[in-house]
Amino acid sequence: MHDSLAQDRSLLDELSDLDLAESQDSTRFAAPGAALLRRLGSSVSRGWAPVARRRLSGVAARLPVPVRNRLRRVFGLMRPDMRDIEREYQAWIDRYDRIDDQVRQAMLIDITQMASPPLISILMPTFNPNPRHLLAAIRSVRAQIYPRWELCIADDASNDPAVGALLRRVHGADARIKIAWRERNGHISAASNSALALATGSYIALLDHDDVLAPQALYHVARHIADLPAVDILYSDEDHIDDKGHRSTPYFKPDWNPELMMGQNLINHLGVYRRSLVERLGGFRIGMEGSQDYDLALRVLAQTTPDRIVHIPHILYHWRQGSGMRSFSEAAIDHCARNGRRAVQEFLGPEAPGVSVQPAPAVPVWNRVIYPVPKPEPLVSVVIPTRNQAGMLTRVVQGLLTRTDYPALEVLIVDNGSDEPLALEQLSRLQRDDRVRVLRCPGPFNYSALNNRAVREANGALILLLNNDVDVIHPDWLGEMVSHATRPGIGAVGAKLLYPDGTIQHGGVTVGVGGVAGHQYLHKPRDDIGYFGHLKLVRAVTAVTGACLLVRRETYLEVGGLDEVCLPIAFNDIDLCLKLVAHGYRNLWTPYAELYHEESASRGSDLVGENAARYGRDVATMRQRWGAVLDHDPYWNPNLSLDAAAISLAFPPRGALKAA
């Protein structure tokens, strides 16, 4: 690896002969040690695989004991979980992510027509990077199609002579490059503040000293700023790049997702901020090293509003894999994770007294935010429509009454004309419990009407819609859901539902799948982390299934409940969730409430016989009512496919992304 003085001097001689003119070929050098890193990666526990990408990406220039080496090794282990995307990604790049002369010319023309093209200051703290990687990073800035930038480099007292020589050469080669030479090593936050002090642009962008910007990166940033001058934060999609220029592991992110941001640094790479806001906050905080970018993002978030946050659904940032840095320190990664949790705790604390930020189970460098349940606990009215099926009904009710530790609940069994002796006997037995009521509702099955009837008669401040084929797994599931449903601005809360074989039945609903809505993680293993951890973290989703849906009663009534006229059976839960969104609420899914769900065990499939014709009418109703909304799920990136349960790429991307 690049750690001997002789190697450094040799490299310095080589770099002195390099052409520093703008070049898009920012990855033509091969770093020594890459093969060794890959071998080392095979020894890392799979339990670390999902954590590497989200927590410490953006630690950037360096840590006391370099962390990035371990992160990149670990993240390589995640690739089996993304095999469909990895297999398709190169073809996707060739088709949809190449900047040809025609696209470049169109961007240049657009730039000339911008009324007030912003100056963007790129902050790059450096400390003993591999000079080849540093050169590639600088070249990627100089190769930007958008010309109104300045590169603000703060060297944190690097003791590598090759780094100093390279920085002096590039400083003289382009007047847009500014350099601050720090006399003493102060670490990443202090160095970032030195870079910030050089900035004069209205926005700052963060670039690590060995990563690479896509040539169109700043154009897209400037274009969105021109479209929304009030924007305070912009962030893009990202991927990995190696020393041969091979790109992999793309993270196609959702639009702004506050809950996911509490679990992982969603904004990072490429993160762009209004400079005046950052300066007003005092820049990067000393003492938050390792999570200083996460901390900065959260502090800026506290000063802005969701309508001033823009997600750019393009890969604009390439995170270098295999940097050739020294070995990893477990103490350093623990310190960084603690700083990240501290940043989240301080962000949430003023508005959520009693909130606790803990390591996420099984993936401890992500976060689990535990909100307190109000005291006294609000009454939850559990609504269970049923007809016959005595065994299933007994199981779900006993699960509520004896295997759930939430104390304040009532159970409303909505009987849709049970006629089997065993079922009638069981209904009679169940309602002997003071917490259980049976509402007799004979007639044709109308799921919406049955639930609406029960909600009107419910005493609880919270309504839990629950299917009769659901079974409790852990006693704390309902408390977890209540802790979210009682938060301001939250609409419906959904749970992680498993098939009896332990695979996933519900991990949140994406609209647009199958024309209306569907589940993207069907039949994934119970312990699957999902795409970049989305099955291990609480996150906002467009909709959740009515098989287990918790919502405030007043909110349910405010939006009109379930549609018992046009959607008596299918899609009424999706329609309810979309009405909640239309009224300004945010729907959530939590992996920390797990239950079994047999799915339509008592009613049968919607795709067989007479049900199929009715289902077709319901699809038409949803398309007519929500067509434009169904065509863009903000929590499902337009570069990801809607065609299958497996996570795969969209060919072509939806909407305006058909061209880069």
Please check whether the domain covering 5-329 is classified as CATH 3.90.550.10: yes
Break the chain into its structural domains and give their ranges.
5-329, 380-630
pLDDT at 609: 59
Strand partners, 181: 155
Cis preceding linkage at 378, omega within 30:
no
Spatial separation of the C-alpha atoms in residues 526 and 424, rounded to whole Å: 36
Q: Are 155 and 164 in contact (CB under 8 A)?
A: yes
Q: What is the pLDDT of residues 84-123, one digit of tens each?
A: 899 999 999 999 999 999 999 999 999 999 999 999 999 9
Higher pLDDT, 335 or 584: 584
Q: Say if residue 558's pLDDT is above 80.
A: yes
Report residue 520's pLDDT band, with 50, 70 and 90 as the boundaries: confident
The pLDDT mean for the chain works out to 86
* Closest to 448 (Cα-Cα) out of 411, 414, 482, 494: 414
Q: Are 532 and 506 in contact (CB under 8 A)?
A: no
Report residue 64's pLDDT band, with 50, 70 and 90 as the boundaries: very low
pLDDT at 75: 46
* Closest to 371 (Cα-Cα) out of 535, 217, 291, 486: 486
Report residue 362's pLDDT band, with 50, 70 and 90 as the boundaries: confident
pLDDT at 327: 29
Which of the listed CATH numbers 4.10.780.10, 3.90.550.60, 3.30.420.40, 3.40.50.1110 matches domain 380-630?
A: 3.90.550.60
Spatial separation of the C-alpha atoms in residues 17 and 15, rounded to whole Å: 5
Q: How large is the average pLDDT for residues 601-606?
A: 53
* Closest to 658 (Cα-Cα) out of 644, 640, 630, 639: 639
Report residue 606's pLDDT band, with 50, 70 and 90 as the boundaries: low
Higher pLDDT, 119 or 337: 119
Minimum mean pLDDT among 253-262, 491-500, 570-579, 592-601: which range? 592-601
Is the model's pTM score more than 0.95?
Answer: no
DSSP class per residue in 191-237: HHHHHHHH--SSEEEE--TT-EE-TTHHHHHHHHHHH-TT--EEEEE
Check if 5-329 and 380-630 are the same fold: yes
H/E run at residue 398:
helix 390-402
pLDDT at 383: 98
**Both structure tokens of 344:** 């989240």
Strand partners, 234: 272, 310
Q: What is the pLDDT of residues 145-174, one digit of tens each?
A: 999 999 999 999 999 999 999 999 999 999
Spatial separation of the C-alpha atoms in residues 634 and 507, rounded to whole Å: 16
Percent of all residues in the chain with a pLDDT value above 90, rounded to a whole number: 77
